[in-house]
Amino acid sequence: MENYFAELYERELLKLRDEINNFKDDNNIWRATDGVTNSVGTLTLHLIGNLSFTIGAKIGNTGYVRDREREFSATGIPRAELLADIENLIETVKTSLSGVTQQQLDANYPLEMFGQKSTAWYLTFFYGHFSYHIGQINYLRRILEA
């Protein structure tokens, strides 16, 4: 079985980069609207932190230490910095996942969050989580930039 995770994650990370680039007003990256708790900036920090930890640290052994609280409390980070972090994450994810074997995918993921499950199961779960937030980001951007 071909390991397609690196390709799929890169595809979603490029969508995230494009969403951030598509903002006309940098201030809107850090705004929310009625009924929406998190800004696009907050969701972006959350996605970067999540994959840097769950893929970079846990699979790629990058040594990344997650600060989940900061993901939801930091504001006003410049667009250029968010984009640079996304580009760095693309490389981290590609490097971490490109050499993963089927045996590693079938083995237990190194962190139990939802019980003991395979690395492939967790990578699929994280991919769904990432895609869900990309959809939120897309809708929020279109609402704020209308």
Please say if the pLDDT value at position 99 is more than 90.
Answer: no
- What's the CA gap between 30 and 143, in Å, rounded? 13
Considering its fold, how many domains does the chain have in total?
1
- The confidence score (pLDDT) of residue 58 equals 97
Q: Can you tell me the distance from the alpha carbon of 55 to that of 10, in angstroms, rounded to the nearest whole number?
A: 12
72-85 pLDDT, tens digit each = 999 999 999 999 99
pLDDT tens digits, one per residue of 12-22: 999 999 999 99
DSSP, res 26 = G
The average pLDDT across 85-100 equals: 96
The rounded Cα 69 to chain-centroid distance in angstroms is 16
Percent of the chain residues topping a pLDDT of 90 = 95
Average pLDDT for residues 111-117, to the nearest whole number? 93
pLDDT value at residue 2: 61
CATH number, domain with residue 34: 1.20.120.450
Q: What is the pLDDT of residue 3?
A: 74
pTM of the entire predicted model: 0.95
Instruction: Count other Cβ atoms within 10 Å, centred on residue 46.
Output: 18
In terms of residue numbers, what domain contains 66? 5-144
Instruction: Give residue-wise pLDDT tens across range 133-144.
Output: 999 999 999 999
Q: Is 50:93 a contact under the CB 8 Å cutoff?
A: no
Q: What confidence category does residue 41 fall into, taking pLDDT thresholds of 50, 70 and 90? A: very high
